[in-house]
Structure 1
Amino acid sequence: MTSITPATEQDIPSLNLLVNGAYRGESSKKGWTTEANLLSGIRTDEEGLKTMLQNPNATILTYRENAQLLGCVYLETKGDELYLGMLTVSPEAQTNGIGKKLLTAAEQTARDRQCQAITMTVITVRYELIAWYERRGYQSTGETKPFPNDPSFGLPKQPLEFTVMKKEIV
């Protein structure tokens, strides 16, 4: 049985393990979305996740199969747009359509909140990931943003920046 539901504070420890395991370190290299070659350090921590969950304009959707947490996505309403971040799928479960299901749920959340578009930032050198989003209707806006100089986001192994992507919601 699968479910997509909003995260609660009880989910924080398992979310922390999922996100860090999917983005950084050796375990992340099992999946195609790893950032381990670009960044060292952690992707998030329990305090950061708690702050996300306490934001009244935000939610983290969780994806579970048979009660096992396999994916999540952070969504935050900003005016008439929904910001999407931290789309995560367990490396062992990637290529099973979980990311697409979470993206579909995010787009429904945008409609439910009467948002006009979904925006996100993606590290510019993540070419395969950018192409994956483009196949789902997201387009680069041409805007770039600097990568944060903050160890809580990770320690870059090379100069990094974000590209801003957007999809209009109808």
Structure 2
Amino acid sequence: MSDDPRLATMEDCPAVEAIVKAAYSHYVPRIGREPGPMRDNYATLIQDGRVHVVERDGAVAGLLVLIPEQETLLLDNVAVAPAAQETGLGRKLLEFAERTARDAGYRSIRLYTNEAMTENIALYSRIGYVETHRGEETGLRRVYMTKILG
């Protein structure tokens, strides 16, 4: 079993889309609509080299979407298949994102999450992300967070 993320290929796209749907669909009633990650075009993100996946037992079990920006790396999405949740895979993906940011010369990494995803806000706060502001974007109430990399 390898927990080393690799760049996703087009063959991974159906698994990526299925994991995102499974990981985020329970938020639809809370938010009142699909969260942003459920509406992303993963084929384009994969073609652009933005999606990394992790396999367990020969199947994609988790993913993250990283988008380089001028001053920081945007952690656009992290999702783990329900069967692989609570196994440390999400933490490993977050650590990979931070290593990737450092290796690219960034001094910080940023993310945003929906205001209604309070458990995500709490998790990110526990691992060193600091809320910078809140706002509405594409009709979604978002909490923006940044972590300074040591």
What's the TM-score, normalizing by structure 2? 0.88
- Aligned-residue CA RMSD in angstroms? 1.7
Query: Which amino acid letter does the alignment assign opposite residue 44 of structure 1?
Result: R
Distance of 1:49 and 1:15 partners within structure 2: 7
Matched, 1:44 2:42: no
Q: How much identity, in percent, do the aligned residues show? A: 29
Q: Kindly tell me: are residues 115 and 70 of structure 1, through their superposed partners in 2, closer, same or farther at Cα, counting changes over 3 Å?
A: same
Among 135, 144, 147, the alignment partner of 1:164 is 144
Which secondary structure state, in structure 2, belongs to the residue aligned with residue 36 of structure 1? helix
| Maintained 8 Å contact 2:112/2:144 | yes
* Alpha-carbon distance, 1:144 to partner: 1.9
CA distance in structure 2 between the partners assigned to 1:112 and 1:17 by the alignment: 30
Q: Which runs of 5+ in 1 are unaligned?
A: 25-33, 150-159
Matched, 1:91 2:82: yes
* Structure 2 spans left out of the alignment, 5+ residues: none
Deviations 1:6-28 (A, max 9, x none): 1112211111111112111xxxx
The structure 1 segments of at least 4 consecutive aligned residues displaced by more than 4 Å after TM superposition are none
Number of residue pairs aligned between Structure 1 and Structure 2? 146
1:20–1:44 contact (8 Å) kept in structure 2: no
Q: Which residue of 2 aligns with 1:114?
A: 105
Contact 1:147 1:161 in 2 (8 A): yes
C-alpha contact 2:27 2:34 (8 A) present in aligned 1: no
Greater helix fraction, Structure 1 or Structure 2: 2
Q: Supply the distance in 2 between the matched residues of 1:135 and 1:106 (Cα, whole angstroms).
A: 16
> How many angstroms does 1:41 deviate by?
4.6
Aligned to 1:146: 136
Match of 1:53 in 2: 46
